[in-house]
Amino acid sequence: SSVVKHDPDWIQGDSSGVFVVTGAQLISKGRWPKTVLHLRLHYTHLPNCTIRKTEWAAAPEASHKSNFLMNLSTTFTFTQRTVADAPKQLPAELNSGVYPDGPPVPVRSARLLKYVDTAEVVRGPHDDPGHWLVTAAKLVSEGGKIGLHVKFALLDYSKES
């Protein structure tokens, strides 16, 4: 991957504040074997903020192994016999307390898993010292797979009235 050079004069006017990532898209351009993969980030400006601390993070090695087992387990389907008088079950609410790594999803392409690391890179209020927001990300190649490195930031909010 190639780095995009920062132009400090790109914004006009008052630039006090921080831009945080609020969306991302993966875009492929070209034809095989000259296909290029781009990561397009969408930003939102938070005024009256400064960055206190930043850290780059990648998916931990342990999640690579557990992700493989999770993907393997979700490829199997099970059937359940229904009893005529059985009460109908309400849909279960999935939250991070039930599935800390996110709800299981079926693997769409086993061939894709050979080339793409699908482990999540997360950080939240449970990570000291507070709420982390994403300010940058980049695609990387590690161990023959395409992965994601994410830059997290702790913000300071100024108290202007």
Once rounded to an integer, what is the mean pLDDT over residues 42-46? 90
Q: Are 72 and 65 in contact (CB under 8 A)?
A: no
* Highest mean pLDDT, choosing among 3-7, 44-48, 70-74: 44-48
Q: What is the pTM of this model?
A: 0.61
User: What pLDDT does residue 3 have?
Assistant: 64
Instruction: Dump pLDDT digits (tens) for 90-123.
Output: 554 545 555 666 656 655 567 777 888 878 787 7
- CA-CA distance, 55 to 152, in Å (whole number)? 5
Burial of 87 (0-12, 13-18, 19+ CB in 10 A): exposed
Q: Assess whether pLDDT exceeds 90 at residue 151.
A: yes
Range list of β-strands (E), 48-132 = 49-58
